[in-house]
Amino acid sequence: MAQEVIEAPLPGKILEVNVSVGNAVEESGIVCIIEAMKMENPIMSPVKGSVTEVAVAPGQTVKTGEKIAVIEY
């Protein structure tokens, strides 16, 4: 199966993670919320599939391009 690696589009702090390994996720489903410049930015799945890896946790700071999750589709 193909894999989609979801990366942070902007630097910020992870406020919440809405998926865990094994979860099914829909296209445009919210994977996590990143706070950047005092705004909450939802990070959405570009594909429908199954979460195989979650690389972040609430409270963690991420940089642009850092891996957030991997979805198999």
Residue 27 has pLDDT above 90, yes or no: yes
pLDDT band at 29 (very low <50, low <70, confident <90, very high): very high
pLDDT digits (tens, 9 = 90+) for 31-59: 999 999 999 999 999 999 999 999 999 99
- Torsion, Cα of 48, 49, 53, 58 (10° steps): 40
**pLDDT of the residue at 2:** 97
**pLDDT of the residue at 1:** 85
All structural domains of the chain = 3-72 (2.40.50.100)
Q: What is the 3-state secondary structure (H, E, C) of 19-67?
A: CCCCCEECCCCEEEEEEECCEEEEEECCCCEEEEEECCCCCCEECCCCE
